[in-house]
Amino acid sequence: MQQFQSVVNLYNEDLLENLRNTHVAIVGIGGVGSWACESLVRSGIGELTLIDMDEICLSNLNRQIHALHSTIGRPKIDIMKNRLLDINPNLKINLIFDYLTEKNSKDLLTNQDIDFVIDAIDSPRNKALIITTCLKEKTPFITIGASGRKLDPSLIQYGKIQHSIQDNLLAQTRKILKKEKGLNLLSNKIQCIFSPEQYFGDKMLKQGSNCQNGLGSAVHITATFGFMAAGWVINQINRKNVY
């Protein structure tokens, strides 16, 4: 397909074919997940499963690619689907308008021939659930740390979850994994993306009336997290520069 010729020029035909045959699940289609979707589809990924229950609200406009004044109040996964199919009409896309729970996590993450999982949610308990489910089912995954209250995109990096610093979200996730799930972090390779930058700005900023309160954030940070998650998947498929 001509639209992916630049991907072939950078890698080769074999990688593009592998991308077309790869199925990625993205949990959380917000400030990070929406950009990961965008990057994967523009790179030639063949199938996506989007898992989210939120609707677009006014305060999303500063950092989420599908957030426009015309899309406020509509489900994020619906808007994202329309956008992605306009990029690649041959994309296979599955929408799951649901939250992860102990009862449904295996079905949502492992029973659809999913090759990779990107965890782009901001709940430490659900992050721990995704991690333990993927480890048990041997599904490759990457978990993404806190993108709020950060300023410098050049500091964002790959690493093991036990080595992440200045990240309250991953710290809480580690605590749940160790104390409640009984997981030995040293013996399990839990890949994450995090920023060691110290937190900046107010702890919580009030959003519009149709949104919950949230952290201060910037699109150059959230998008970088999303692009790095997509890059991790592509490089795993390419089997080069594996982090």
pLDDT digits 0-9 by tens, 163-203: 999 999 999 999 999 999 899 888 888 999 999 999 987 65
pLDDT given for residue 189 in this prediction: 84
pLDDT given for residue 212 in this prediction: 54
In a domain, 6, yes or no: yes
Q: What is the pTM of this model?
A: 0.93
Q: How many distinct structural domains can be found in the chain?
A: 1
In a domain, 160, yes or no: yes
Cα separation of 217 and 23, whole Å?
Answer: 29
In a domain, 243, yes or no: no
Cα separation of 54 and 25, whole Å?
Answer: 17
In a domain, 131, yes or no: yes
| 119 confidence band (pLDDT: 50, 70, 90) | very high
CATH number of the domain where residue 78 is located: 3.40.50.720
Contact status, residue 226 vs residue 36, Cβ threshold 8 Å? yes
pLDDT tens profile 57-85: 999 999 999 999 999 999 999 999 999 99
- Which of 6, 133, 111 minimizes the C-alpha distance to 49? 111
pLDDT tens profile 145-167: 999 999 999 999 999 999 999 99
| 205 confidence band (pLDDT: 50, 70, 90) | very low
In a domain, 109, yes or no: yes
Residue 29 belongs to domain spanning:
2-238
Contact status, residue 226 vs residue 34, Cβ threshold 8 Å? yes
